[in-house]
Amino acid sequence: MQGFTVLMAENPMAAERMLDAHTDRIHLLLSDIVMPGGRSGFELALKIQAGRKDLKTIFITGYSDEIISGYGMPEGEVHILQKPFSFADLLTKIDEVLGRV
């Protein structure tokens, strides 16, 4: 609806496989911080960003800062969108992170 091409994966391992196979540029990773399978969104992003230095990331969570800090929050600029959020909130955050505002 907003002109984005969206790739979806049901867990971190599926996301890694899909992104490894996808050769076109990916502008943004939207990932929950706490996910099934024992890997955090932070870990997923670090692994993916190793080969895609220009990839921006937005993490979503319903947890407090104290809890998510235990999941290995990366250093530097981290974009977090707290749950619950509206579609408008998501679009605003995407525009902010991609520098479209």
At 2-36, the pLDDT tens digits run: 788 899 998 888 988 998 888 888 899 999 988 87
Residue 18 inside a domain? The answer is: no
**Does 41 reside within a domain?**
yes
State the CATH number of the domain containing residue 53: 3.40.50.2300
Please tell me the distance from the alpha carbon of residue 35 to that of residue 7, in angstroms, as a whole number.
17
Asked whether residue 74 is assigned to any structural domain, the reply reads yes
Kindly state the percentage of the chain with pLDDT values over 70: 91
Rounded to an integer, what distance in angstroms lies between the CA atom of residue 60 and that of residue 80?
Answer: 6
- Residue 3 placed within a domain: no
Q: Give the pLDDT score at 85.
A: 96
Whether the CA torsion 67, 69, 73, 76 is positive or negative: it is positive
- Domain membership of residue 2 (yes or no) is no
Q: What is the DSSP string of 24-70?
A: S---EEEEESS-TTS--HHHHHHHHHTT-TT-EEEEEESS-HHHHGG
Look at residue 61 and tell me if it is in a domain.
yes
Report if residue 9 sits inside a domain.
no
The boundaries of the domain holding residue 85 are 24-97
